[in-house]
Every structure is written in structure tokens, then in C-alpha cells.
Amino acid sequence: MKKRLIWNDCRENKPVTAAVVIFMTLSAALMGLSVLLFGSLLNSIDKLMETAETPDFLQMHSGEIDRGAIERFAALQPDVDRMQIAEFLNLENGKLSLGGQTLADSTQDNGLCVQNEQFDFLIDLEEKRIRVSPGEVYVPVCYRSEYGTQIGDSFRMDTQELTVAGFLRDSQMNSMMASSKRFLVHEQDYARMKPLGSEEALIEFKLKDGADRNAFSTAYGDAGLPANGPTITWPLIRLMNALSDGMMILIVLLVSVVILAVSILCIRTILLTGLEKDKREIGMMKAVGMARRDIRSLYYSKFLILSGIGALLGMGIVFLISGPLCRQMQELYGRPDHPVRIWLLSVTGTLAVVGMILLSVRRTLRVTERMTAVEALYGTGRWGKKKNRYLFAAAVTAAATALILIPQNIASTLSSPRFVTYMGIGSSQIRIDVRQTEQIDAVTEELLADLEKDSRTEGAVAMETRSYRAALEDGREYSLLIENGDHGRYPVSYREGSWPTGEDEIALSVLNASELGLRTGDTLTVRLNQAEAGETVRCRVCGIYSDITNGGKTAKACFSHPGTVGPPMWSVLYVTLKEGNKPADWTARYQEHAREYGAGIRVTDISQYVGATYGQTILRIRKAAMLATAVSCLVLAAVVLLFVRLTVWQERNDCSLKKALGFLSSEIRQQYLKRSLAYILAGTAAGVFLGLVPGQKLAGLLLGSLGASGFHFIIDPVRVFLILPAVTVTVAVLAARISLNEVDRIRASECCIGRE
Amino acid sequence: MKELLRVSDLCRKNILKKISFSVGEGEMVAVMGPSGSGKSTLLYNVSGMDQADSGEVWLGDREIVGMSEDDRARLRLTRMGFVFQQMNMLANLNLLDNILLPSVHAEKSRAFRAQQTEKARGLMERFGIGDLSERKITEVSGGQLQRACICRSLMLSPQILFADEPTGALNQTASEEVLQAFLQIHEEGTAILMVTHDSRVAAKCERILYILDGELRSELQLGRYSAEKSGAREQSAAEWLNRMGW
């Protein structure tokens, strides 16, 4: 009988039943999808890092290496399990082509390497260590789709040529956010190609289980071993791997949490309205002696069945759309090794969401206990306080608008050229890196003079980075990469304070500031030479900025003389062009010209750099933004449709009376539409505010994981203030208008003779 | 006659003021009084549908006022039957399922359900609605629906049937059919406590209680009903009610 009762109830209230199923399905699907994507991503990355035996600590170094000193250091460290020095042959992108396509535009440091012997292995798509034969090359898997490379294509380096034998997964450098890419070749070919590029060393350590990576990193730094390049640890590699897809998943998770909250509220309102309608029937059931539990169970069973349907549909959706969403992820990191476990986890996530909704239904059903049989039978009591339904529709409009705006704003922020200033890159149009060349300071000076003479440039500054040591108050020494130059000309974004303007000022990257425990206004003593008792300068920390370049540990100063710490490790020139000059054209031409100064010079159009580095992330976020927009519009339409219908149902008698008095259906509809529109507009305005202010804080937390702190949205005003609000208002108004067709079905006589 | 229901000093807000009376086993008692006198409130509090403020209500050996809501509900389900003026039934069930509703909740075994379905069909047949079992509640007349409500109230063989204006919403023919049904039930030994506005209906009962301003003012003994004496009973009831200021 219960089955029949539920079936008949669902049949009689099709729109309401459909709305409940939609809410449950969406909540279940989104949560299931977030869990599945997160699980797959982390599992694939962990599996890849395990198969590849990713190093725990990695020091990049260009220049001479005292192999003996490093081996002696390793032998003394109890935590070191294995160590190796891998070589990376940095090639000039302009001389490279893959399947006939030049890599000149690539913003990555592309180079060759051979398979390692002890750990940090390069893995093929079958998840096995690659054995490469002479004449063959394995290409980073991310280039397969980017350049449409196929097995058998040729890989040309200047005059030399190799055949692409397959694709490789590199646990360290798979992500486009890692700035280097390794091509795997045979030892013979590597030796043959050596004259084509400059060599860089990767000093790698595999530590014993449970070893403290930070302590090891400090010990390495303190030992004065080669450190002319970024330092990278295992967690940073894992983070870099997880970020581009992780951002998309975080957005899906955010959407799923909001949709769950909206669903719980909507289902509660649907339930309360249903109980109000069934008050007499509930009274009768109470009167004839049905226990409270049995009455609750009648309603609960219906939701239990609907939630089952919702969970199944949700899982079906996850099954359908997880494939395309996971494909790119699996291409980069491989298939997860516990797919069943991940699916189970996803199903658990789905069931947890449905469980939460059912828990809320259970709680809501307790209101049936508030009234005695008599109060319910004669309609003298209410289940709860009467709530303004329009206010709720306005709140859902606000939530939907904010959900649409936040991912859109994140995408527009990441796409903006200004975003790089949150990453430690100056706000210019072009950046010229001078590395791996003799006489970096002399070359930099010449380039600067050359740029100043160029009629197309508007301005240029040069920054030289040298390795200094800071004397800490507790007597420890701390090695510090300081970038010296005019930082006010093309400033990065400062989370606190500002750039250094005097000899005694220093700005620190967030990572350095937190490691040193310093804030703006504190002081730091910097040694200007190698000797411990030599000249020092006491600097006030004038600003803290976020930086993900060079391992994230940098500092900025404007010393008039850099001291005697040695030649610069690298230098960067920032350039802006006069109006009418396209950065891409200028960059291509200047790259050719810069060859005269040596091979280690790279000219980058910053907007192109952003595209290449964050392109995949932006693409994923755009996908997530589209999903968020679709889901938000669907939920908004369902909620408005439902609530207008419930309101009309509740005010049916008034509508009938108005009709009896001579009002037209269209006039009554218009009254409702005007009232709805006022709330929808208010909700949209609130949504824009939520999307911009708390949304920015939330996005800041997400982007903080990218290393961008102190972040502000860079918005597209037309989109944010006009197009997207217009979308939500249109969806809501259309839904309200469709729902108001119900008014046509109300008869004028109903108020006098009741409804048949 | 053995006492079945005993009410002592029953109070509810300012509506019932220390009412006391009793109903014997198989007795049929009418409660009359002007609108707002507290008749329906008395019925709800005596049957445990509403919670009385003070006083005692004994149904056999069970005291109702001090019981928890769930215990009262259980007692209503197993030992009482209800018929209301508004024929409350679940719109999403057919007539037969509505009649079976309390029984299905009293005991969930398949055998019991089959037995109760048989019983329900028998009752429907007896009260002249045997061919309507599959109909929706919107597809039958008011009199048929009220008889279905009576069937529902009898499913678990209650000791006492409470009826609140059972003929109040019906036309004369339907009223007569429903009243005949009540008399049949009474004949079979079920006690009935019925609130009514109709002196002709009340005249069919063995006793009439008259309530005014929440107090029991008087009662009239009419004795066991017989069709031959119905005219004299109606007259005597009408005269008594006149004296009461009806």
C-alpha cells in the first residue's frame, strides 16, 4: 500500500517530484564527480611518482660541479638513501622542431637527457621504464596534443635528427607549470648532441622513509654545495603536478557544496509545503491512531526512493562525464592503479550527499509532531513560521549568480597579463632571461644599452640575481637569492608593503619571509661578500611579494654595488614597447638578434608565457566555469519554477477571487512577474557582490595554492556587470513566466465552491 | 451495564470545565449542545486526540490523560474507532486501501493483511459500497465516503466508536444510510459516543448528554432504540432539548 501511495503521490505531483529528483541527482553527481576526479588525480600522480621514483630533493645547477664534495656530503647524511647527478642538455628552442613544427615559440626550457640509473626514471605510456635505442627520442607526453606529434615523426635539433619512438611521462616536469621539459635520448646521441646546447646538472637525492625533507634542504644549503639554480622538493613536485587539474576539481567541489546547500533548502521547503497541503490527512492518520513514526515513515519512504533514483542518476552522470574529464589527466599521469577503490570512494561521496539530504528530510519531518491530531484535522495549527518564499528564490538567484561569477573571474584573472605580477614577474610586456652564458653582467649591460637605443621600446630595466648569505640573529647563516635593480619600474604585486627604494631596504618572497619569520618593518643582515666577517648591510624588510619562479625563495633589493659575492647567477630584463608594436612580432625578431650575445638568452612575450604556462589550467577552469554556469542556470530555473508554482498554489483562492472579480489571467500573471522580478534583481545584485567580495577571498584561497598570494580579481566589467547578470535574470524570469501558466488553470468559481 | 469509559473532572483550557460522565459497554450516547459549547473538544480529549489539562479518562483499565502521545495513538488504533464530519481520507489511495490503512499499520504480517482485506470487503458489502473498492475518493458520493470511513473505523474491532457530526455534511438520504450503519454497529455491541446537532439522530441513542459552556448540564435516558417507538423518542428528545434552551 505504501508503494501505491508513493507512486500515486509522485504521479499527482510530477513537477515537484521531478524537482526533488533533479536536486538530488545534481548534488549526488557533482559530489561524486569531485571525489572521483580528486581520487583519480592524486592516485595517478602518486602512482607515477612511485613508479618513476621521484627524488625527495633536487638542486638544479648550471656551472662547474665538485662531484666529490657532493658525494662526501651524501655519505655523511644519515637520511640519504641514494643520490645521483643527472645531466640536462638545455637546447635553444629556435633550433628545435618536432614533426616539422618549430619549437621557437615554446616558453619551456627544452632539453635532452638520458635514462637515469638509480631513480627519477622517465616512464612510457605503458607505465614502464623506457629503454631508448640510438637514433630514437621519447617526447614529453604533453607535446603529443600540443604539437600533434606522432610516433615516427622526426625531432630536429639544428642539423641533427632523431625519430620519435614514443612519449614519456616525467614525474618532475609533466605539468606545463614546470618550466622545463626533458626529451629522452640514448647515451650515444646525448654525447653527439652535447655541443648543441649548454649543460645543467640536476643534483638529486632519494631520502630514506620518514626523513625530514626540510631539514635535509637546510643541511644542503648550509654545506655550501652547488646551488646555482632552483631547489625543488618532493611536495612541490606533487603540488605542481596536481595544480592544473586540481584547480578545476576545486571549482567543481565548490559548486557541489553550494548546490548541496541549495538542494537541502529546496527539498525542505517542498516538504513543508507538502505537509501543509496534507495537514488534514496527517490529522486523520493521527486521529485513527497511526504512530508518529509511521506517519513520518510514509513521507520518508518517498524521499528514500527518490534519493535512490537521484543517487543512481547521479552516478550515471558521473560515469558519463568523468571519461572526457579524466582523459587529459590520464594522458599526463597514467591510469590510477586503484580504479575500483576510487569508484567506491566516489559512490561513497554520492551516498554521503544523499544521506545528508535524507537527514535533513528526517529532521524536517519532525515538525509533524508539533501539532495534535485535532489542530491538524481542523487546520488550526501551522508546522512552522511562515517564510517569505520570494526571499528564498532571491537567495538562490544570488547563490547561482555568485557560482557563475567566481570561476569566470578566476579564469579572467589567470588569463590577464597582469596575473603574472602575482607570480613574481614584473608588469611589463616582454621578459628577457640571460642564463647559462659567460659574463652574464656584461651581456646584460650590453643588452640594456641596445634596448635603450631601440626605437620600438618604451623602456627597459635589468635585474641581476646573485646568491647572498644572510646572518640571522640566532647566529645561523641563510642563503638568499637577491635580485638587484629598479623594482619600481615594472613592479610585481606586493602582498604587504612595497618595493625597495633605498640601499637599506629589502623585499622578500612569501616563502622566504615565512621561513625567516620576518614581516614588513623587521630587519635582516645581508653579507655583501663571501667572508663571514666582511661587509654587511642591515636591511629593513619593506615588502613581501608572492613568487613561484626559481623555487619561490627570492628577495629584491636595489644595492648600488652588489658586493663581492660573485658574478650574477642569472639576469632578467623587463621591456615595454611603444604603442603600435606587437610584443609577439618584436619578441620573435629580437630573439634572432639576441643570438649575437650568446645562446643562453631567451626573449619571452609575457602574454604568450601566461598562455603556455597556465593555458591548460585556464582551459580546465573555463571547462569548470561552463559546468558551473550550466548547473547554476539549471538549478535556478528549477527553483524559480517550483517556488512560483508553490506560491500560486498557496494563493490559489486569492487568484480565483480576483478572477471572480473580473481580473484577467494576464493581469494576475503580471502582478506575480513584477513581484518575482524585484526579488530576482535584488538576488542578482547580491550575487554579483558575493561573487566579487567573498568570492575573491575564496578564489584567493584556491589561487594561494598556485603561489599567488595577496590576490585580487582582474575582472572583465562587461561580462561581470552586464552579460552574466543578464543571463541569470533571463533564466529566472523565463522560469517564472513558464510557471505562471498555472494561473490560467485557476477557475473563477473555485473560491466559491471549492476545487473539485 | 458494565462501565467501559469513565470521565472524571476533565478540563481543557477554558472550554471544558470539570466534566464527568461514563459510557457503558455497548451503549450508544449522544453529546448535544449549542455551537461553541465544547462538544467536539470533549470528544477529542476523551479519545486522546487532544491532551486534556487535568482530570481522568479511563477506557477499561487504561487511563488516557496521563499517557504519552504514542501510547494514546496505539490505544486509538487498537481499541477506538473514529468517524468525522469531514470525510478525511488519503487522496492518493483508493477506497479499499484507505479502509485498510489503520490495519496495515497495526500489524504488518502478510496473513493479517489478507485477513483484513477480506474483512474490509465484507464491511463494504455490508454497508452497501462493496462495488466501490477500487474507486478514488473523488469518484464516490458523500454518503458512500462516510460509510467507507465507518468501515475504516471498524477494521480493528474497536470497543468504542467516536463520531463527530457524522451526518453533518450529508443530505437526508445519505444521513439516513449512515445512521442505519451506526445502528447496525450498535446492535453488534460496540459502544458509540457521538457528537451531533441533529435531535433526530440523537433520539436514536440510548442516552443524550447536554453540554453548555463546557459543563455537563443534564442528561436524558431514552433506553434501547426500537424503530416502532422512534416517533415518541424524537418527541421526547425534542421537548427535553427545548427545556434546555436548545
Strands A505-509 and A536-545: parallel
Together in a domain, A473 and A561: yes
Rounded Cα distance, A161 and A153, in Å: 10
Structure confidence at residue A551 (pLDDT)? 64
| CA–CA gap between residue A251 and residue A705 (Å, rounded) | 13
pLDDT in the model for residue A205: 95
Nearest-CB residue to B93 (from A5, A287, A756): A5
Give chain B's residues under pLDDT 70: none
**DSSP for A317-379?**
HHHHHHHHHHHHHHHHH---S-HHHHHHHHHHHHHHHHHHHHHHHHHHHGGGGSS-HHHHHTT
Mean pLDDT of A381-386: 67
Confidence category of residue A436, pLDDT binned at 50, 70, 90: low
Predicted structure pTM score: 0.73
Give the pLDDT confidence score for residue A280 in this predicted structure.
83
Chain A residues close to B149, C-beta within 8 Å: none
Asked if B97 is an interface residue toward chain A (Cβ–Cβ < 8 A), one would say yes
Q: Closest chain B residue to A11 measured between Cα atoms?
A: B92
Distance CA A105, CA A643 (A): 54
Query: What is the share, in percent, of chain A residues with pLDDT greater than 90?
Result: 37
Q: Do β-strands A198-207 and A80-90 pair in parallel, antiparallel, or remain unpaired?
A: antiparallel
Are B101 and B152 spatial neighbours (Cβ–Cβ below 8 Å)? yes
- Tens of pLDDT, residues A145-186: 888 899 999 999 888 899 999 999 999 888 877 778 999 999
How many CB atoms lie under 10 A from the CB of residue A22? 20
CB atoms under 10 Å from CB of A213, counted, come to: 16
> Same domain, yes or no, for A635 and A664?
yes
Residue A487 is given by DSSP the state T
Cβ-Cβ contacts under 8 Å for A41 (sequence gap 6 or more): A242, A245, A246, A249, A329, A333
Residue A485 lies in a domain: yes
Q: How many C-beta atoms lie closer than 10 Å to residue B213's C-beta?
A: 14
Evaluate whether residue A431 is within a structural domain. Answer: no
pLDDT exceeds cutoff 90 at A660: no
Distance CA(A383)–CA(A375), nearest Å, equals: 10
Question: Does residue A320 belong to the interface with chain B, where contact is any CB pair within 8 Å?
Answer: no
Query: For A177-230, how does the pLDDT look when each residue is reduced to its tens digit (9 = 90+)?
Result: 777 899 999 999 999 998 888 888 999 999 998 888 878 887 887 787 887 777
User: Do A271 and A289 sit in the same domain of this protein?
Assistant: yes
A521 & A569 share domain: yes
pLDDT, mean of residues A613-634:
84
The radius of gyration of chain B from alpha carbons, rounded to an integer in Å, stands at: 18
How far lies B246's CA from each of B31, B37, B198, B223, in Å? 13, 12, 11, 21
* Same domain? A685 vs A748: yes
Q: What is the pLDDT of residue A337?
A: 83
Residue A181 lies in a domain: yes
Identify whether residues A238 and A269 lie together within a single domain: yes
Instruction: Specify whether the CB–CB gap between A477 and A469 falls below 8 A.
Output: yes
Grid cell in block for residue B203: 433520539
Domain count, chain A: 4
Residues spanned by the domain of A404:
388-419+616-756
Q: Of the residues A161, A180, A210, which one is the last residue of a structural domain?
A: A210
Provide the grid cell at B98: 484507505
Write the residue in B50, B82, B88 that is nearest to A372 by C-beta.
Answer: B50
Tell which wins on pLDDT, A243 or A723.
A723
CA angle A608, A613, A615 (to 5 degrees): 80
Q: Would residue A218 count as lying in a domain? A: no
Stretch A450-462: mean pLDDT: 91
A217 lies in some domain: no
A380 contact B CB<8A: no
pLDDT given for residue A606 in this prediction: 85
Q: Is the pLDDT of residue A710 over 70?
A: no
* Residue numbers in A near B75 (CB within 8 A): 289
- Confidence band of A478 (pLDDT split at 50, 70, 90): confident
pLDDT over 50 (residue A620): yes
**A611 found inside a domain:** no
Could you count the other beta carbons within 10 Å of the beta carbon of residue B172?
Answer: 9
Q: Are residues A382 and A399 in the same domain?
A: no
- Report yes or no on A220 lying in a domain: no
Residue finishing a domain among A566, A599, A632:
A599
Say how many CB pairs under 8 Å bridge A and B. 85
The pLDDT tens digits of the residues spanning A311-332 come to: 999 999 999 988 888 887 888 8
Give how far Cα A94 sits from Cα of A66, A87, A139, A594, B184, Å: 32, 21, 17, 12, 106
Inter-residue long-range contacts of A657-663, CB under 8 Å, 24+ positions, other chains counted: A657/A751, A659/A746, A659/A747, A659/A748, A660/A748, A660/A749, A660/A751, A660/A752
Q: What is the pLDDT of residue A583?
A: 87
A391: pLDDT strictly greater than 70: yes
Residue of A nearest to B137 (CA): A756
Task: Measure CB to CB from residue A374 to each of B49, B69, B80 and give the nearest one.
Answer: B49
Nearest to B176 by CA among B184, B191, A517: B184
- CA–CA dist A53, A81 (Å, integer): 12
Query: What pLDDT does A754 receive?
Result: 46
B239 vs A511, residue with greater confidence: B239
- Residue A677 sits in the same domain as residue A728: yes
Confidence of residue A54 (pLDDT cuts 50, 70, 90): very high
Higher pLDDT, A305 or A591: A305
Q: Is B94 helix (H, G, I), strand (E, B) or coil?
A: strand
Of A238-252, A260-274, A716-730, B140-154, give the lowest mean pLDDT range.
A238-252
Residue of B nearest to A373 (CA): B49
Residue that terminates a domain, selected from A574, A599, A624: A599
Cα A12 from chain centroid? 45
pLDDT tens figures, A10-22: 888 887 888 899 8
Higher pLDDT, residue A247 or A526:
A526
* Residues whose CB is less than 8 angstroms from the CB of residue A713 and which lie 6 or more positions away in sequence, other chains included: A409, A410, A412, A413, A692, A695, A696, A699
The stretch A607-634 carries a mean pLDDT of 82
CB pair distance less than 8 Å for B88 and A284:
yes
- Best residue in B105, B110, B137 to probe A by mutation, most A CBs within 10 Å? B105
| ipTM over cut 0.85 | no
Q: If you measure CA to CA, which chain A residue comes closest to B74?
A: A289
Considering A235-244, A440-449, A609-618, the range whose residues carry the highest mean pLDDT is: A440-449
Q: Which of A367, A369, A362 is nearest to A286 (CA)?
A: A369
pLDDT (average), residues A580-605: 83
pLDDT band at residue A755 using 50, 70 and 90 as cut-offs: very low
- Which chain B residues are within 8 Å of A275, Cβ to Cβ? none
From the list B215, B182, B224, B223, the residue with the least C-alpha distance to B7 is B215
Q: Are residues A237 and A172 in the same domain?
A: no
Neighbours of A195 (CB within 10 A): 9
Nearest to A372 among B49, B86, B89 (CB): B49
Q: Same domain, yes or no, for A272 and A358?
A: yes
* Per-residue CA distances from B49 to A214, A324, B76, B77, B82 (Å): 72, 59, 8, 11, 10
Q: What stretches of A15-119 adopt beta strand conformation (E)?
A: 57-61, 80-90, 96-98, 101-102, 109-113
Tens digits of per-residue pLDDT, A80-135?
Answer: 999 999 999 988 888 899 988 888 878 788 999 999 999 999 999 998 999 999 99
CB spacing of B77 vs A287 below 8 angstroms: no
C-alpha cell at A357: 539530504
Given an 8 Å threshold on Cβ–Cβ distance, is A292 in contact with B70? yes
Q: Which of B49, B92, B138 sits opposite A5 (nearest CB)?
A: B92
> Of A150-164, A369-383, A542-556, where does mean pLDDT reach its minimum?
A369-383
User: Is pLDDT at A50 greater than 70 in this prediction?
Assistant: yes
Q: φ, ψ for residue A88 (rounded to 5)?
A: -130, 120
Mean residue pLDDT of chain A comes to 86
Confidence of residue A385 (pLDDT cuts 50, 70, 90): low
Same domain flag for A681 and A695: yes
Query: A292 touching B, CB under 8 A?
Result: yes
Identify whether A708 is part of a domain: yes
Check if A752 contacts B (Cβ < 8 Å): no
Which region, left, alpha or beta, applies to residue A120 given φ > 0 means left and ψ of -120 to 50 means alpha? left
Do A647 and A586 have their domain in common?
no
The reported pLDDT for the residue numbered A756 is: 37
